[in-house]
A and B are shown apart, each in its own frame.
Chain A
Amino acid sequence: MTDVTADAGGAAPLGPLGPAGGTVAVAAPTQRMAPARWSLLLRRPTFIVGGIIILFWIVCAIFGKSFAPFNPLAQNLLSNNTGPSASHWFGTDQLGRDVLSRVIVGARTILVVTPLATILGTVLGTALGLVMGYFGGWVDLIVGRIIEAVLALPFVIIAFLFIVAVGSSTGSLIVIIGFVFTPLIARTVRATVLSERHLDYLSSARLLGENSFRVMFGEILPNIMPAILVEFTVRLGYAVFAVATLSFLGFGVQPPTPDWGSDIAANYSGLLAGYWWQVLFPALAIASLVTAVNLITDSIEQVLNA
């Protein structure tokens, strides 16, 4: 049989991506997301808190420039490396730029790249997973092997293997994270499709003469939507992790554009000299975003499984 990828998915629930790997496959219920469930979601405090934090950062990403106390690019070498004070709440960095303003404006990159990369990965992964799960056989075997080989590499390494190849920019960050997510999402979708494959509605659809394409995208896809939604939100959390990590490693936005990860890398030497505010505040910004996305993921999972 062809199920070694399922084996990898089941026995290795976390995979090389660590966080949230295949745990979703377990939590993949095939009930539809009824409108009533959405209102259930709004009653969960975790969802509200997560939503407020994300909303705050979205506002910063869109309007940050207009309410940031200083120009995030304005250097002032006469007052560099100053600690938090009344005029600079988060202090200044080594070029005398206001850290608070950079944190506010720096929300933009991560909030643009993260959802776009996740959407790309989800779309590609869903298509691939549907094909693998529906056709099975040698298609499944070959694609499964390739996926397993890709997953044998830690994601950071695949990502920067390709980033070095195509150059680092916001666009390549989106494409690369999207591609890295594709096999992971494909694996989950494939497992979900397999659990649907023998259900009656599919045999009826086939008897009615629907072609494979219509069966896959018209019949199976709507039925596995909740599982894909959960997978999407889980991956979203991980995309924040990925984008932050890659920009910290210098593979994201290039200076002087404010960005949490690259600002941390740029001021890291200052940390050892005692200028902790230059790196701690962007780090806490990342932490708050990661937490917020996970609170939302957790509440969606709880509501879907309820």
Chain B
Amino acid sequence: MAMFLLRRLGLMVLTLWILSLIVFFAGQILPGDPGRAILGPFAAKSAVQALDHKLGVDQPLLTRYLDWLGGLLHGNFGTSYAYQSAVEPFVRAALINSVKLALLAFVIVVPLGIIGGVIAALYAGRAIDRIISVTGLSLAAMPEFVTGIVLIVIFGVELKVLPVTASAGAGAGDLQQFRHLILPAIPLVLILFGYIARMARAGTIESLNSDYARTAILKGLPRTTVIRRHVLRNSLLPTITVIATQTGYLIGGLVVVETLFNYQGIGNLIFKAAQAKDFAMLEAGVLVIGVVYVLATLAADLLLIALNPRLRVGGSDD
């Protein structure tokens, strides 16, 4: 077990390191000169060079990578070229905003997906199962901005019941802000519903067909008790993993949703940084997302081990 954990952590560090390499060097091949981008096309060449020197972008690549990595390890994410100030507060604020939106989406989709999947499994092969499965899969493949636009047309433009921008503006109360987040959360919910329902359905069907479920039914327990006490406990394991691994995906979806609803989250931050060629901001944002994803995957693994005693013994994952 300890060995497994150590190895898992070691591989995680390795993954993060490779990630930092990818992010840094991808950031470096972005065309354009940061000094020129900040000062504009009419600035004097010498001023651009001076700014480049001040920003350190004229140093050799390896030096810059090591500086950047060293800074990261000390919690210094670098300086935004566009804002001329530390990146960290921007990233932190954006991350908090995104977490709010993502949490709302999760709080809605997790129970919905599990209930949908379990119902589909209990009526497997019947009409209601087909409806849940097919709807879930089709919605899962629909780009967020497509569902987002349909929702905006219905609820924002025609019915006028929900605000179509995600930020309530300064001074708005929590409740007001919450109202503004409902519409942006739904496209994320629609995308995730299909997977969670699918996993919950597969897990439930498997444990419904298991020996222990049959034994429980044969010994005369009521169907609801069998489902609640024997089936669900086992069927929800894979579902939990799916939920945790969807975190990374969710953040990708945030780029689109946050752009569509004009919300100051991490997705929007990365998008704008890429447009402005703001390397430091882009790298920090992308790296934060990578870290969140890797941690979420680790959490999923640990949760799975904690919930499933069979996995505690082996220690090997293949």
User: In the complex, what residues of B have CB within 8 A of residue A157's CB?
Assistant: 252, 255, 270, 286, 289
Which among B15, B142, B252 is the interface contact of A290 at CB below 8 angstroms? B142
Query: Measured between alpha carbons, how far is A17 from B318 in the docked complex, in Å?
Result: 23
Q: Smallest Cβ distance from B208 to chain A, in angstroms?
A: 18
> Which residues of chain A (237-251) have a CB below 8 Å from chain B?
237-238, 240-241, 244-245, 248-250
Report if A149-B256 is in contact (Cβ < 8 Å); known contacts: A1-B318, A7-B318.
no
Which among B149, B198, B242, B318 is the interface contact of A279 at CB below 8 angstroms? B149
Which among A6, A154, A268, A276 is the interface contact of B252 at CB below 8 angstroms? A154
Which among B15, B29, B248, B289 is the interface contact of A149 at CB below 8 angstroms? B15
B157, CB-defined interface residue at 8 Å? yes
Query: Measured between alpha carbons, how far is A291 from B143 in the docked complex, in Å?
Result: 11
> Which residues of chain B (251-298) have a CB below 8 Å from chain A?
251-253, 255-256, 259-260, 270-271, 274-275, 277, 282, 286, 289-290, 293-294, 297
Report if A11-B300 is in contact (Cβ < 8 Å); known contacts: A152-B19, A154-B289.
yes
B177, CB-defined interface residue at 8 Å? no
Per-residue interface assignment for chain B, residues 219 to 256, with 1 indicating a CB less than 8 Å from any chain A CB and 0 otherwise? 00000000000000000000001100110110111011
A306, CB-defined interface residue at 8 Å? no
User: In the complex, what residues of B have CB within 8 A of residue A165's CB?
Assistant: 26, 29-31
Report if A298-B19 is in contact (Cβ < 8 Å); known contacts: A14-B195, A245-B256, A286-B143.
no
Query: Measured between alpha carbons, how far is A196 from B137 in the docked complex, in Å?
Result: 30
Closest partner residue, chain B, to A243 (CB atom): B143
Q: Smallest Cβ distance from B191 to chain A, in angstroms?
A: 6
Closest partner residue, chain B, to A4 (CB atom): B11
SS of A interface (majority) = helix
User: In the complex, what residues of A have CB within 8 A of residue B301's CB?
Assistant: 7, 11
Q: Smallest Cβ distance from A169 to chain B, in angstroms?
A: 14
Query: Measured between alpha carbons, how far is A146 from B198 in the docked complex, in Å?
Result: 29
Q: Smallest Cβ distance from B310 to chain A, in angstroms?
A: 14
A294–B146 CB distance below 8 A: no
Report if A283-B11 is in contact (Cβ < 8 Å); known contacts: A16-B252, A154-B248, A271-B157.
no
Number of B interface residues, CB 8 Å? 67
Closest partner residue, chain A, to B196 (CB atom): A14
Q: How many inter-chain residue pairs (CB < 8 Å) link A and B?
A: 183
Query: Measured between alpha carbons, how far is A288 from B265 in the docked complex, in Å?
Result: 30
Q: List 24 A-B contacts (CB under 8 A).
A: A7-B317, A8-B297, A14-B195, A14-B242, A14-B246, A17-B249, A18-B140, A18-B252, A19-B140, A149-B290, A152-B19, A152-B248, A153-B23, A154-B289, A157-B289, A162-B26, A167-B31, A245-B144, A249-B256, A272-B156, A272-B157, A279-B149, A287-B150, A290-B146
Other A-B pairs beyond A149-B19, A240-B141, 16, CB < 8 Å: A11-B245, A13-B199, A14-B242, A20-B141, A152-B15, A152-B294, A153-B289, A153-B293, A154-B248, A154-B289, A156-B256, A161-B23, A272-B157, A283-B150, A286-B143, A293-B141
Residues of A within 8 A of B (CB): 1, 3-4, 6-8, 11-20, 23, 145-146, 148-150, 152-158, 160-162, 164-165, 167, 237-238, 240-241, 244-245, 248-250, 261, 264, 268, 271-272, 274, 276, 279-280, 283-284, 286-287, 290-291, 293-294, 298
